[in-house]
Amino acid sequence: MKYKRILLKLSGEALMGNRQYGIDTERLMEYAQEIKKVVDRGCEIAIVIGGGNIFRGVAGAAKGMDRVQGDYMGMLATVINGMALQGALEDAGIKTRLQSAIEMDKVAEPFIKRRAVRHLEKGRVVIFGAGTGNPYFTTDTAATLRAIEIGADVILKGTRVDGIYDSDPEKNENAVKYNSLTFEEVFEKDLKVMDMTAFTLSHENKLPIIVFDMNKDGNLLKIVDGENVGTLVNL
């Protein structure tokens, strides 16, 4: 096993499956089974999920909504997604804890670093909700921050595509995939891996990032075992 402790970042849209909005329970169960394989291997896993399948603060602001209020609505959406994933994981027999950056005692623990690490050491999956708890920060930034705080070995960014390309592979059939990149190369080529705040935070803290296709069966476990899947961004 190459990675002992990982931070898995999932977009809210990933939970939609083939739907246009909301949560596809079938896709949720598929993800739970993929995560279970990793847990059974003995890997410690924390998860951050976006909220774009329910609400995006940036999109609300573009339509005239107050950005701060919109961002808080987006944070609440991530907690809804976290609760849904928690339910799916527990149905699969995995012990989990949901921690929120915004206190909501009835549904989640407050985020406390030492407690989160202790849960991981006990083999529990920890889901971090509500982003960083502050407006203007993306869930990519929240994922990077939490990964650094818990001492994760790597950030695994699960997407719909199988890595980083020189252009959008969904729009350009001739797009070229990169198997590995340095942080400097990503900056130079202006590739969109994460937002700049999250990416810079990873770079400064020497935290590798792997972008991969979460929808392909077995990919998550292959990465944990050290196989070359997706695109690795490292120093």
Bind-site residues for UMP: 51, 71, 132-139
Distance CA 45, CA 8 (A): 7
Q: Please, what is the end-to-end C-alpha distance for the chain in angstroms?
A: 21
Residue 45: burial class (beta carbons within 10 Å; 0-12, 13-18, 19+)? buried
- DSSP H or E stretch at residue 156: strand 154-159
Distance CA 139, CA 157 (A): 11
Please check whether residue 219 is in contact with residue 169, taking contact to mean a CB–CB distance below 8 angstroms. no
- 57 to each of 68, 131, 143, 164, how far by Cα in Å? 8, 12, 17, 26
Give the residue numbers of the binding site: 9-12, 51-52, 56, 71, 132-139, 159, 165, 168
Distance CA 230, CA 232 (A): 7
Give Rg (Cα) of the chain: 17
Distance CA 78, CA 170 (A): 26
Rounded to an integer, what is the distance from CA 223 to the centroid of its chain?
15
In the block, residue with structure tokens 């920890």: 126
